[in-house]
A = this chain, B = another copy of it.
């Protein structure tokens, strides 16, 4: 039998990569034959984490069915965020911490989702339930995932369980959680070398909401103005992306990881849904969302409601 492929969502963030690697490691220890792969190139934050702990980046795949008939999903479940030929393989396992949508299987499967801040927090629990020891490098990338998803526990998605998991993993990985965490987050905020096209795509996900196809991208920075200095290039890139991919609505969420606010840039239809969802008025296509840092908890549900009511 060919190897089971384990992967996170397209445009992988640190959790998508670290959860694939750590869940694959766990399953191999339990006797399965799996390989962690990625649905896209890793970003600078993830590269920092992998490099720090001496872990190789997973191989990038475009399709799965050409090499396996079974896949394990981590950190996502929605078909449009998964591998392009997901309908042609069997999803035997999902570990996730998102809403559930647009997933269909013919057979019963293992599905483990909890409303915590990070998939790696759930994977730590599964390691323990199976009495599998976590090696230092795996602990290191798992704690990196938790720091990344919770913005060092400042995101409203962060739970006491995430914080406890990160502390436990930091002990195994032998790092100072706060020092390492902030260094890693800052490594992901360097936009100097990025084109507008890259910036709107590096952490972007698609969501069907009502009858609209919504694209939501997020960038973490330490200075929001740096990004909006390029507003006209960003708008041009977004309009091209909307045309090319039939996105009805594109929302770029630019998050300041130090003060935990976000500025959104929104283009498409219906733009009024964005104003409704967040109770703001867009000016020059943008609005400041005070205290908003989480796409999952502070953007997706609000927009879903505004677009389905």
Name A's B-contacting residues (CB within 8 A): 96-115, 129, 296-297, 300-301, 304-305
Contact = CB atoms under 8 A, between A and B. Distances in A.
Q: How many identical chains are in the complex? A: 2
B110 A99 contact: no
A251 to B, nearest CB: 16
B105 A109 contact: no
Contact of A100 (B98, B111, B115, B300): B111
Nearest to A157: B108
Contact of A108 (B102, B103, B111, B115): B115
Given A112-B112, A113-B111, A301 B106 contact: yes
B113 A110 contact: yes
A112 B112 CA distance: 5
A103 B106 contact: no
Nearest to A116: B108
Contacts of A109: 99-100, 113, 115
Nearest to A303: B106
A114 B114 CA distance: 14
Contacts of A300: 106
B112 A108 contact: no
A234 to B, nearest CB: 28
Nearest to A110: B114
